[in-house]
Structure 1
Amino acid sequence: MTLRNLTTDQSTLLEFKDQILDSHNVFASNWSITSSVCHWVGISCSARHGRVSVLDLSHMGLEGTIAPHLGNLSFLVSLNLSGNNFHGYLPKELAKLRRLKLLDQSYNAFDGDIPLWFGALHKIKYLILSNNNFTGTIPLTLANMSNLETLDLGAQFGSRKNSIRDR
């Protein structure tokens, strides 16, 4: 069962890779079906479930959009894509990442409204969206994030940093 599920994680990540311009060839020799997804650059798997639990591709010079398929990484607890050149919107399928505790999308070029679906991520402790091009208001649904400790919206809203401590 775990092998089949890990194959699902692998397929998901390969779909994600297909939407990325990798000018530094980070994935060239590493993200392939010839090695276990748990040994890929930027990936960690949980010892308990043997599934992808961390996706950390921060500061790797990557460019592109976020594939909706990332919502299939059901054991993901940390998603860090900060310091790249991702753009467009954050797909609503990411709301399926119910175990997510850290979401860092800072220093990219995301735009549009801050998604309402963030409120569905009840386990989030750290939501870091600073230095993007989001517009609009801060959604009230963020109040549903009962475990939220840090909300960083930084420069996108006039160099304001908001921090929410344990309630």
Structure 2
Amino acid sequence: MAASLIMASQTNISTDQSALLALKDRITTDPQNMILTNWSTTSPVCNWVGVTCGARHHRVTFLNISYFGLAGTIPPELGNLSFLVELLIKNNSFHGPLPQESARLQRLKFISFRFNNFKGIIPSWFGSLSKLQAFDLYGNQFSGYIPAAIFNLSALKVINLSYNQLSGSIPKEIGNLTMLKEIKLDGNNFKELPNEIGTLDQLEELYLQFNALQGPIPMALFNMSSLIILTFFRNNLTGSLPDNICQHLPNIQELSLAYNQFEGPLPSKWLPCTQLLSLQLGMNSFSGSIPTDIANLTQIKMISLSYNHLTGT
């Protein structure tokens, strides 16, 4: 029995070794010589740079080859790393298609492909990674829409698709992701924001800077008591702000609505925003006077009201 278990363990780790060697074969540039010399069959897989194995099953659980300056493509064999929990390939120059076989990584909780050269649509197979908690594609060239399958990821806490070339509406199904704490969609071409974001009662950070959002902000967003950061810097949002903007934002620390097309008076009731550190409302069309309540924001470090139509003292 013991011998057969040892044999099974060797077979399993050899599967992981074969998958990683397939990745090595796809690497065309390795300026720091991190992979091409270190990943060798003369040493155990679990000792390879960027590779961590679990103590219980002796399988590859973490793969972190970030900041190595690598170029190449992702092989389908990577989907054979069936015990993988964390996959980080940040700050490299990987490109080409993301293979469908990666959908087999059913233990995966954290994935980051940020700052690579991936393009095309975001593959829908990401939506089958049911344990995924953090999904980071920041700084690539993905285009098109966010695939609907992503909104099946009920364990997701962080979604970061910033600085790609995504467009259209942010799907209302984002309201299904009730565990979300961070939504980061800066630097895309989204035009519409759904009311359903306002139902995410654990959301702490909402980044939608540098997009093409139009129309008014859904009022539900100003009822999200969990919010710490809310930033819509540089969009095409219109309408006015509620006078009691702070009433249901007790934890807000950063509120940035600058470079939009808001109009009307500034909100007058700021006292409930006791944690506010940064208030940026410049480059809009606000009119009237500066409310005296702003002077009572004792934690504030930055206020920008420039380039509006404000009057008075």
TM-score of the aligned structures, taking structure 2 as reference length: 0.51
User: Structure 1 residues 115, 137: closer, same or farther in 2, change over 3 A?
Assistant: same
Among 158, 165, 184, the residue aligned to 1:161: 184
C-alpha separation in 1, matches of 2:38 and 2:139:
29
Among 17, 32, 41, the residue aligned to 1:24: 32
1:95-114 to 2 correspondences below 5 Å: 95-114=103-122
Alpha-carbon deviations, 1:114-155, whole Å to 9, x = none?
Answer: 011111000000000010000110011011111000000011
Displacement of 1:23: 2.5
**Number of residue pairs the alignment of both structures matches:** 166
Among 55, 61, 79, the residue aligned to 1:53: 61
C-alpha separation in 2, matches of 1:29 and 1:130:
29
Q: Secondary structure at the match of 2:94?
A: strand
Runs of 4+ in structure 1 deviating by more than 3 angstroms, as ranges, are 162-167
Q: Secondary structure at the match of 1:13?
A: helix
Q: Would the aligned equivalents of 1:149 and 1:165 in 2 still touch at CA under 8 Å?
A: no
Partner of 1:92: 100
Higher relative contact order (CA 8 A, sep 6+): 1
Q: Would the aligned equivalents of 2:111 and 2:136 in 1 still touch at CA under 8 Å?
A: yes
Partner of 1:141: 149
Alpha-carbon deviations, 1:48-86, whole Å to 9, x = none?
Answer: 110000110001010011111100000000000010000
**Which protein is richer in helix relative to its size?**
1
Q: Secondary structure at the match of 2:63?
A: strand
Q: What amino acid is aligned across from residue 62 of structure 1 in structure 2?
A: L
Unmatched 5+ stretches in structure 2 = 1-7, 167-182, 186-196, 204-313
C-alpha separation in 2, matches of 1:81 and 1:166:
28
Displacement of 1:4: 1.2
Displacement of 1:165: 7.7
Identity of aligned residues (%): 47
C-alpha separation in 1, matches of 2:117 and 2:38:
26
Q: Secondary structure at the match of 1:155?
A: coil
Unmatched 5+ stretches in structure 1 = none
Q: Secondary structure at the match of 2:77?
A: helix
Structure ID, larger Rg: 2
C-alpha separation in 2, matches of 1:8 and 1:18:
15
C-alpha separation in 2, matches of 1:131 and 1:28:
26
